[in-house]
Chain A
């Protein structure tokens, strides 16, 4: 057995993050760590230490799909892990992220009002108002929370679906953060 390190338990963080979002949506901001840390490690460290050891979501998929056998453990379809699909999914994801930031801007500028919904799969609006008491923070801060949590929850659900269908960590094969950090690492290592 390999010696366990503190970061082998970060799957607990993944569970905690999604639980907190059911109580207070403002906790969604903590997800920015999972966004900025892998980018920082890739840009400054030229590595994927985040994906490899720190990603709580990857560990959670491994636990559920591997240890708890909630995965069929069938090969991921070739196209799902192909380069063009990974890049296309990254572009799609960034577009949706940009749209979410734009919605936040609209609320911040007063052009539209705060909408207390979590949008699943970029389509289904789920009322999520119980997690936020109006006026606690500026509207745009709350709007960003709902938007960011929507992205996190949608990608978690997608990840769980592909985990069940294919390999535990099939999500990692086309995770936009993974694709982005890998491309950064490739660029960095080419220069050296």
Chain B
């Protein structure tokens, strides 16, 4: 079952430093091609560790959109 919440990246603010990638307990967020971080929504449980560590404030924890 998918979690209620999920991480969302503001690509225009992401510095692709990889702080989120290193802190994610489920390897659900990865820097893609050095451009921005991408969330694997299947894996993300919305714990908020990435949003907390992000130095650019580019990650927000949002309610998962109803499928």
Contact = CB atoms under 8 A, between A and B. Distances in A.
B14 to A, nearest CB: 9
Given A48-B34, A58-B17, A172 B53 contact: no
Interface residues of A, number: 37
B17 A52 contact: yes
A81 B57 contact: yes
18 contacts: A51-B18, A51-B34, A78-B57, A81-B13, A81-B55, A167-B55, A169-B17, A169-B19, A171-B55, A172-B15, A172-B19, A172-B56, A173-B56, A182-B16, A185-B16, A186-B34, A186-B35, A189-B33
Contacts of A166: 55
B55 A52 contact: no
Interface in A4-58: 42, 46-48, 51-53, 58
Given A42-B34, A46-B34, A75 B57 contact: yes
The 10 closest A-B pairs by CB, nearest first: A185-B34, A52-B18, A172-B17, A48-B34, A81-B56, A173-B55, A173-B56, A169-B55, A170-B55, A167-B55
A62 B13 CA distance: 20
A53 to B, nearest CB: 7
A181 interface: yes
Contacts of A184: 34
Interface of B: 12-13, 15-19, 21-22, 31, 33-35, 52-58
Contacts of A75: 57
A42 B35 CA distance: 10
Contacts of A178: 15-17
B40 to A, nearest CB: 16
A66 interface: yes
A9 to B, nearest CB: 13
B55 A48 contact: no
B56 A181 contact: no
Given A76-B55, A178-B17, 13 more contacts: A46-B34, A48-B16, A53-B22, A81-B55, A82-B13, A167-B53, A167-B55, A172-B55, A172-B56, A182-B34, A185-B16, A185-B33, A186-B35
